[in-house]
Amino acid sequence: MRSPRRCSRNGCPRQAVATLTYVYNESTAVVGPLAAFAEPHTYDLCEQHARSLTAPRGWDVVRHEGEFEPPPPTTDDLVALAEAVREAARPVAPRPPQDDHDPHHPHPHPQTPPTGRRGHLRVIPPNH
């Protein structure tokens, strides 16, 4: 699954549960539930920062009155996770040993296990 979005405030490690959007032509800061996707001109906030946000002098703050909750995992996240697990469970065919005297491969490289990629997930095999 995709890693949870983090609060945009510097140094804050908490998970984002709200989105801050500035409406410049109305001098308003809007704090609402976490948007489905991170947008370039919005800011993700944790609950503490969403509730304590203040706006510049002369600006209004419109704040969501309900609970701020992290979004549930999407179907895409669950499908990507299932595919990554299937990929990791597939047996890897052993590579034939390289001949140290092969003129086409004068500098043999140590055998490195393959990595797989599914969407935004990457399967990394365990170290042997």
Q: Which domain holds residue 38?
A: 1-85
Instruction: Let me know if residue 108 belongs to a domain.
Output: no
Q: What is the pLDDT of residue 96?
A: 64
Mean pLDDT by 10 residues, the chain (128 residues): 79 94 93 88 94 92 81 61 67 62 55 54 61
Instruction: Let me know if residue 69 belongs to a domain.
Output: yes
Instruction: Let me know if residue 25 belongs to a domain.
Output: yes
Q: How far is 118 from 88, CA to CA, in rounded Å?
A: 11
Please write the tens of the pLDDT for every residue from 56-86: 899 999 998 777 776 666 566 566 666 666 7
Instruction: Let me know if residue 79 belongs to a domain.
Output: yes
Instruction: Let me know if residue 67 belongs to a domain.
Output: yes
pTM of the model: 0.53
Could you tell me whether strands 121-123 and 28-33 are parallel, antiparallel, or unpaired per DSSP bridges?
unpaired
Instruction: Let me know if residue 64 belongs to a domain.
Output: yes
Instruction: Let me know if residue 47 belongs to a domain.
Output: yes
Kindly give, in sequence order, each residue whose CB lies less than 8 Å from that of residue 11, ignoring residues fewer than 6 positions away.
none
Number of domains in the chain: 1
CA geometry: angle 17, 54, 65, nearest 5 deg: 50
Instruction: Let me know if residue 125 belongs to a domain.
Output: no
